[in-house]
Chains A and B, each alone.
Chain A
Amino acid sequence: MSLVNLTIDNIKVAVEPGTTILEAARKVGITIPTLCASTELGHTPGACRVCLVEVQGQRGLTASCVFPVWEGMVVRTTTEAVRNARRMVVELLLSNHPAECNYCIRNANCELQKVAEYTGVRELRFAIPTMSKEDAIDESSPSVVRDTRKCINCHRCVTVCAQVQTVSVLTPSFRGSSTTVAPPFDLPLMETNCTGCGQCINVCPVGALYEKDDIDKVWKALQDPTKHVVVQAAPAVRVQLGEEFGMPVGSLVTGKLIAALRKLGFHKVFDTNFTADLTIIEEGNELLKRVKEGGTLPMITSCSPGWIKFCEHFYPDLIPHLSTCKSPQMMFGALAKTYYAEISGIDPKDIVSVSIMPCTAKKFEAQRPEMCSSGFRDVDYVLTTRELGRMIKQAGIEFVGLADEEYDAPMGEYTGAATIFGTTGGVMEAALRTVYAVVTGENLGDLNVTPVRGLEGVKAATLTVGDLGPVSVAVAHGLANARTVLDQIREGKSPYAFIEVMCCAGGCIGGGGAPHPTTNDVRKRRAAGLYKDDGTVQKYRQSHESPSVKKLYEVFLKEPLGHKSHKLLHTHYVNRGTELPHKEKGPAVCKPAKKGAGH
């Protein structure tokens, strides 16, 4: 098809027909400020009106995000009329936006602030009182907090929730100046089908959606002399945290992360990767058992708590397909207050277990009533990568200048197979490496299983695994893609033996606790950081080679899928259904296990 020629600010540009003025301008390096448009989401409602431009021959100004180019079009983006109109639009947006910037969670990281700067707003001539805080803030969910006052009605969260995650919790409701984004009937989030994935947070331009902040609870534990505080950090955190301190996107900062955690006062700095390796041993053996004994197949991974809650709501009939393995976070929690307590001689009641996650759904997972295997709350507090970033800033630690440090034994050592859990396809790749080795007694010819890497929505591969013959696997990330493979199972047409599902696009590196912003380019760079850790940094690249995991089986667990594993490392799921409102019980109080009591 022939290209369309136009000029923008006297610069000639040729683009595909159907391109919008906004996209054409970006091609030649002209930034038109926007608040609602997100090309990656396919979301251009033309709602915010900040992207106005002048098109010669058109009456009035035009929203460039929804206006397609035509041959010979002449666009001006900086005329007086454009600048005045944009400034007025932003001023009006600010007129009913709480002026809380200094203490807003998105301070210095807010798209509305940025647009106010770009458009040169210097005074606020109109101020409309906002809703009261009590009416506006929904803190019912342990994962996501909504503050309706700050919403600018860009509706990106509605799109990500409905289109990318197919959960459809949020909707624009009412109309005109009364429009708010809310769950149906303004139900508290916790009473809806919300998975807690936090993708809405990642696309929110302002502070209207954010993670439930648990920093103060962690500070309190750290400063309690009677407590022994252990911390685990998830794989994706090591390629995200640097961004909070202005480091290049995807920087691998494992050593600095450990140093910072130690400086914050954590008594032992461990790694979720240790239990990611353990997950592979348990889950790999579970898969082999199901294959050999005719169990439910395909088996689906269970590491991603947003995915689990989604399955419990929308596909409860497929629960038997879920691996019974807990996520690495919860395996770690259960072991911290049993295995670690035992070998360190510390009373588990004095241990506080904290995890650093790229994820908001992990906060919900840690509160699930099933997660009391140690007789205590297995994981006490979950902080997202963003919260850890803030905590490090609060502590006055100069993160970028920190010298690298090493994890503590015995729950810090990990292999490259564990670290790639943080990106889509990683769990599958790690599992294939180990399953192949266990079945054939040999290592995979090439440990890099590239067909399961990358941002394609559903990836599939077939691998011949010794006596098992060809094994077909699939990887899906983002819940809309998960539906594709799940519907195949429902129809009895799934060709796969094993499926990895991650709730968020890109896997955990794109999780709801990630630094702002997360785009596909950012996802790729964070994934590259993890593959670097796997390919060049770690000594071992297969989970079953981890000396610490071997030792754990030797001295504590005895065997994969054994009695202790069953009690501590495996779990069960709940049929939640989709009938609203859900009456969730609050976090259960863990009762110490009675002697001899089973799981």
Chain B
Amino acid sequence: MKAKARNADIDISKEFTPEQLKKVDKIIEKFKDRPGALIPVLEEAQMVLEFLPMPILKIIAGGLNLPLSQVYGVVTFYSFFTMTPRGKYTVRVCLGTACYVRGGKAIYDNIKKELNVEEGETTDDRMFTLETVRCIGACGLGPVIFVNDNVHGRLKPAKIKDVLSKYN
């Protein structure tokens, strides 16, 4: 999946407002010619845009006079940066040992099916982003999922639909 996460076709003029794009230019201008500018630029740009698709990374690479390969390497290395849009809600499924043995995998599979996404992906309506975690310290409630800051414990695959339908 990761190979496909190019977002090359995204039209940034539709995705972002002219103000947002202007802000990115200003961020580049601010850090330009400073050593080690790349990470702060990416960080601030993501604050403005929420995600960093290929055309934005090209603008940053061009602005800082860095090879696109280097920018891409940094963006994929740090889990903080994302090249795909995030959903309104982030669903984190615990696959730590306790949740796993209590059926976490089945919960996870069911959510993937329900949302029709793989790990790290966002639904087309940009409502949900799916992630997995290894233990969130709620083993007594396992299997658990987090939806943004809410914990849902003692889940069964059949209950997934109900849980997700609360979020809209």
CA distance A391 to B128 in the complex (A): 56
Structural contact, A183 and B69, CB atoms closer than 8 A: yes
Q: Could you say which of B3, B69, B77 contacts A170, with CB atoms under 8 Å apart?
A: B69
CA distance A187 to B2 in the complex (A): 12
Q: Known contacts A170-B69, A171-B69, A171-B72; is A580 also within 8 Å of B3 by CB?
A: no
Q: Could you say which of B3, B57, B69 contacts A168, with CB atoms under 8 Å apart?
A: B69
Structural contact, A173 and B67, CB atoms closer than 8 A: no
Structural contact, A162 and B67, CB atoms closer than 8 A: yes
A68 at the binding interface (Cβ < 8 Å): no
Interface secondary structure of B, over-half rule = helix
Interface centre among A169, A178, A184, A187 (most CB of B within 10 A): A184
Digitize B2-38: 1 where CB-to-A-CB distance is under 8 Å, 0 elsewhere: 1100101000000000000000000000000000000
**Cβ of B54: which chain A residues have Cβ within 8 Å of it?**
185
Structural contact, B68 and A174, CB atoms closer than 8 A: no
**Cβ of B71: which chain A residues have Cβ within 8 Å of it?**
184
Q: Known contacts A171-B72, A172-B73, A580-B58; is A178 also within 8 Å of B67 by CB?
A: no
Interface size class of A (residues with CB under 8 A): 10 to 19
CA distance A581 to B58 in the complex (A): 11
**Cβ of A580: which chain B residues have Cβ within 8 Å of it?**
58, 68
Q: Would you list which residues of chain A between 171 and 198 have a CB under 8 Å from chain B?
A: 171-175, 178, 183-187
Structural contact, B76 and A175, CB atoms closer than 8 A: yes
Q: Would you list which residues of chain B between 69 and 113 have a CB under 8 Å from chain A?
A: 69-73, 76-77, 79
Min CB–CB distance B9 → chain A (angstroms): 11
**Cβ of B72: which chain A residues have Cβ within 8 Å of it?**
171, 173, 184-185
Q: Known contacts A174-B76, A175-B76; is A184 also within 8 Å of B69 by CB?
A: yes
CA distance A580 to B72 in the complex (A): 12
**Cβ of A467: which chain B residues have Cβ within 8 Å of it?**
none
A135 at the binding interface (Cβ < 8 Å): yes
Structural contact, B69 and A175, CB atoms closer than 8 A: no
Structural contact, A178 and B69, CB atoms closer than 8 A: no
Q: Could you say which of A174, A178, A185 contacts B6, with CB atoms under 8 Å apart?
A: A185
Structural contact, A184 and B77, CB atoms closer than 8 A: no
Structural contact, A168 and B67, CB atoms closer than 8 A: yes
Structural contact, B8 and A185, CB atoms closer than 8 A: yes
Residue of A nearest to B73 (CB): A171
CA distance A414 to B159 in the complex (A): 82
Structural contact, A174 and B69, CB atoms closer than 8 A: no
Structural contact, A168 and B70, CB atoms closer than 8 A: yes
Structural contact, A186 and B6, CB atoms closer than 8 A: yes
**Cβ of A174: which chain B residues have Cβ within 8 Å of it?**
2, 76-77
Residue of A nearest to B4 (CB): A186
CA distance A170 to B69 in the complex (A): 6
**Cβ of A169: which chain B residues have Cβ within 8 Å of it?**
69
Min CB–CB distance B134 → chain A (angstroms): 13
**Cβ of A171: which chain B residues have Cβ within 8 Å of it?**
67, 69-70, 72-73
CA distance A579 to B73 in the complex (A): 18
**Cβ of A185: which chain B residues have Cβ within 8 Å of it?**
6, 8, 54, 72
Residue of B nearest to A169 (CB): B69
CA distance A186 to B75 in the complex (A): 13
Q: A162-B69, A186-B2, A187-B6 are in contact. List 4 more A-B contacts (CB 8 A).
A: A171-B69, A184-B69, A185-B8, A186-B3
- Interface pairs A-B: 7 shortest CB-CB: A168-B67, A171-B73, A171-B69, A184-B72, A186-B3, A173-B76, A185-B6
Interface pairs (6), CB distance under 8 Å: A162-B67, A174-B76, A185-B6, A186-B6, A580-B58, A581-B8
